[in-house]
Amino acid sequence: MLNKKSVDDINVKGQRVLVRCDFNVPLKDGKITDENRLVAALPTIKKLIADGGKVILCSHLGKPKGEPKPELSLAPVAVRLSELLGQDVKFAADPEVIGPNAKAAVEAMNDGDVVLLENTRYRAEETKNEESFSKDLASLADVFVNDAFGTAHRAHCSNVGVTQYVDTAVVGYLMQKEIDFLGNAVENPKRPFVAILGGSKVSSKISVINNLLDKVDTLIIGGGMCFTFAKAAGEKVGKSLVEDDYLDYANEMVQKAKDKGVNLLLPVDAVVAKEFSNDVPFHTVEGDMADDEMGLDIGPKTQALYADALKGAKTVVWNGPMGVFEMSNFAAGTIAVAKAMADLEDAVTIIGGGDSAAAVNQLGYGDKMTHISTGGGASLEFLEGKELPGVAAANDK
Ligand code: AMP
C-alpha cells in the first residue's frame, strides 16, 4: 500500500485546493478524441467538491515548449469537464498561467466551485522545476493534491516544486489506484506472474527487463526489441530493428532468466516485409530472414505460444506492442496478446499505458482488463523499480 497521505486524510472545507491532474488528452480540430484521462480524474475532483473545497485544477497538454500555443490550450477540457461534472468549470485563460484571470477567478470562488488553469507547460520554468513558477502556483493554494500519474516520473513545478511552498501535499484517488495496482502486481503478485514486454527498443526497457526478471515466473518479449535478442543468439535478422550495442546485454538477460528459473519466451516466427510499410507484400518466416527483410510483427506460431503461456496466469502486466500495430498488416500479434489477456478469468491484468493501452481500448477489450494505467512512461519507470518523484513529494502518512 502507498504510504502517502491522500485526499481522505485532509479536511478541505473552505480551502483553496490546487489539484495537479493529467489532462494530457489527444485533440483533433479542438475536439478531445479520447477522454479516458478526464474520466479517470473525476473521483478525486468530485470528492473535493463534495467536501466543500475550492477546487483549482491544473495540467499540462502536449509540448508547447514554454510558450503559449493556442492549439494546446486547455479550454476544450474545461468545456468537457463541465459536462462530465454537471457543474461549471471556469477556465482561467492566462497565457502566463497564473495571471489576472486566474487570480480573479480564484478570488471569486465559493466552496465547491471549480476553476481550471491554462496549460502549465506554457511556462518555460515548468519542466525545469524552477522556483518562480512553483511559487506562483503555490500562491493560489492552501493545499496541494497530486493526481497526475502520467507525469509522476518527472519532477516539474506543478507536481514536485509546488509541494515545497504549501503546508499540505497529498495524492489523489487516481494516483493511489495506479500505485496500488502496479505495486501489488509487482511486489505481491498472485502467481503465476507473467510480464509481456514489447515496443521498439531494448535500450528503453533495459532496467524493466532486469528488474522484472527478479519478480516474474514468465517474461514474454515481442516487438522490435526481440530482434536484438535473436541476433545475439546468432540468428539472421536481415534489416530488422537491432541495437548492436545491446547484444551482450540480451545474452546476459537470457542467462539471468536461466539462473533465476524464469521462463523467458522469445518469438519463434516473425511477419516480415522488405519495407517499413503497410503497402508491400509480407509473409511469415521461421528462423533466418533474408538480408533485405525486416521483422514487423510476431508470427502465428509465436502468437499461439504466447497465448498458451498466458493460460493459467494469475497476474499479467503488459507494456509495449508486439509489432508495428499502427499498420494493419502487422497488428495481429498485438491483437492476439490483447485477446489472450482479455480471455483470462480470475487473473489480475494490468496494461502499462501508452501504445498497449491504446490498442486494448481500440480493440474494445478495455472493460476486460483489471487496470489500464493512464501513464506509459510512469508505469514503465515504476516497473523498473524506481521511486517516482511526483509520488515521493507528497506528505508521508
Ligand atoms: P515503445 O515506444 O518503445 O513502446 O515502442 C512502440 C513502437 O514500437 C510502436 O510505435 C510500434 O510500431 C513499434 N514497433 C513494434 N514492433 C516493431 C518492430 N518489429 N519493428 C519496428 N518497430 C516496432
The per-residue pLDDT for range 199-228, each reduced to its tens digit, is: 998 888 888 999 999 999 999 999 999 999
Please choose from 196, 197, 200 the residue to mutate so as to test ligand 1's pocket, defined by most ligand atoms within 8 A of CB: 200
Nearest CA to ligand 1 atom 20: 224
**Residue 1 pLDDT greater than 80, yes or no:** no
- Smallest CA-to-CA distance from 117 within 132, 103, 128 is with 103
The per-residue pLDDT for range 44-93, each reduced to its tens digit, is: 999 999 999 999 999 999 999 999 999 999 999 999 999 999 999 999 99
Give the list of residues 6+ apart from residue 11 with CB closer than 8 angstroms, or none: 51
Partner residues linked to 143 by β-bridges: 17, 168
- Smallest CA-to-CA distance from 350 within 383, 384, 317, 381 is with 317
Q: Rounded distance, CA 268 to CA 266, Å?
A: 7
The per-residue pLDDT for range 29-49, each reduced to its tens digit, is: 889 998 999 999 999 999 999
Start-end of H helices in 140-218: 173-187, 206-212
pLDDT > 70: percent of the chain: 100
Give the list of residues 6+ apart from residue 221 with CB closer than 8 angstroms, or none: 197, 198, 209, 229, 264, 265, 266, 267
Show the cell assigned to 78. Answer: 474545461
Cα of 348 vs centre of ligand 1, distance in Å, is 25
pLDDT at 196: 97
Q: Rounded distance, CA 213 to CA 208, Å?
A: 8
- Going along the chain from its start, the domains and CATH numbers come out as 7-174 (3.40.50.1260), 189-384 (3.40.50.1260)
Phi and psi, residue 127, nearest 5°: -80, -10
Cα of 168 vs centre of ligand 1, distance in Å, is 41
Average pLDDT, the chain: 96
* pTM metric for this prediction: 0.90
Show the cell assigned to 305. Answer: 505460444
* Ligand 1 atom at shortest distance from the alpha carbon of 201: 3
Please list the active-site residues. Answer: 37, 201, 354, 377
DSSP class of residue 151 equals G
pLDDT at 228: 96
* Ligand 1 atom at shortest distance from the alpha carbon of 240: 20
Tell me whether residue 370 is exposed, middle or buried, using C-beta atoms within 10 angstroms of its C-beta: 0 to 12, 13 to 18, 19 or more.
middle
**Residue 308 pLDDT greater than 80, yes or no:** yes
pLDDT at 355: 87
Q: Which amino acids bring their CB within 6 angstroms of ligand 1? A: 199-201, 204, 223-224, 241, 295-296, 320-321, 323-324, 326, 354-355
* Ligand 1 atom at shortest distance from the alpha carbon of 327: 12
